[in-house]
Amino acid sequence: MARSLRIQYPGAFYHVMHRGNGGREIFVDDVDRFSFLDFLARSIDIYDIRLHCYVLMGNHFHLLVETPRGNLSEFMRHFNISYTAYFNKRHRRIGHLYQGRYKSVLVEQESFLTMVSRYIHLNPVRIKTFQEASVEELMAYLHDYQWSSFNGYVEEEDGTDERVNVCHELVLEEYGGNTREGRLAYRRQIFMDLAENLDIKDKVVGQSIIGTESFVRWIKNSFLSQGKDREQPAVRKVYSRLAQGDILAVISAETGVDLDQLKRRGVERQIAMDLLYRLGGLKGVEIGRLLGVDYTTVSQSRKRLRERRKKDAELDALVRRIENKLSTIKI
């Protein structure tokens, strides 16, 4: 079987999976699970990764991560080596803990991020034990399963996981935000997914990408064109968060809208809000203060932009063009 591609660029999202060598367990007990999450939290901090959700199973794990600096390989190498060294020392063993390379699937944020998050959260009940269980029983088990970010997404109060920092906001934007109403809406969607047996395997292209046709085409044109090293894409650099001035300047240059107008005009301002959040690392409150709007307007505007991009190929191409220009800026 061909190996999946390693496509890296600043701001990319990935569904990451890794199994134990020979299908063996990678956790002996809860001490191992707590240690795993501790190493994960440390690696996230070192490599400036955003973790959007996770689940630990007996012999494998799933992560949904965002890489503002385009450094998934460096992050996963450090994380896997750290946990393997701990595990081997604690259990007095040698050799490989994991089976080959980790698998990573590049995820299109606008169309598939929330679906992938739900698929990951459903993993604890995707085993034979639950084949005859009712949706209500499956839902109860997911609530009781502690080795997942699930409860942080569905509790009526903000369910922050103190073991590892999970960013709930981006996924929950589609459901009304990181609020009581947004978390209840996400919970209702999970209930529907259980009833409909949500799966994403048939949506993965070439074992490496999950996204719309335009996203797959953009990835191929940007990183897999003839003559480029398939394992070392063009934007294979490590970036810090881009400065807000650089982001606004590129948007202004590409749209022909000056900076003062940019803060007042519809779609251009939506693009600015989205890129300041994704590539500039600014929070909704900070973006709102910069552009003179409430932070809830930022969340709603970014959601409207995602919906418009699905229907408007010209707008989608504009945003991708701006992203490409920003990817060449040296920090």
Mean pLDDT by 10 residues, the chain (331 residues): 68 95 93 95 91 96 94 93 94 91 92 94 89 90 94 76 84 89 94 90 85 86 60 36 78 83 82 85 81 83 86 89 77 49
CA 51 – CA 171 distance, rounded (Å): 11
Q: Are residues 145 and 265 in the same domain?
A: no
Q: Are residues 56 and 138 in the same domain?
A: yes
Q: Is residue 233 part of a domain?
A: no
pTM strictly above 0.75: no
CB 170 within 8 A of CB 110: no
Which pLDDT does position 207 carry in this prediction?
78
Q: Is residue 322 part of a domain?
A: yes
Number of domains in the chain: 2
Kindly report, residue by residue over 274-307, the tens digit of the pLDDT: 888 877 777 788 888 888 888 788 888 888 888 8
Which pLDDT does position 329 carry in this prediction?
67
Q: Are residues 185 and 136 in the same domain?
A: yes
The counts of H helices and E strands in the chain are: 14, 6
Q: Is residue 225 part of a domain?
A: no
Q: Are residues 256 and 313 in the same domain?
A: yes
CB 305 within 8 A of CB 316: no
User: ∠ CA(329), CA(5), CA(203), 5° rounding?
Assistant: 105
The pair of structure tokens assigned to 173 is: 């934007």
Place of tokens 């709930």: 168
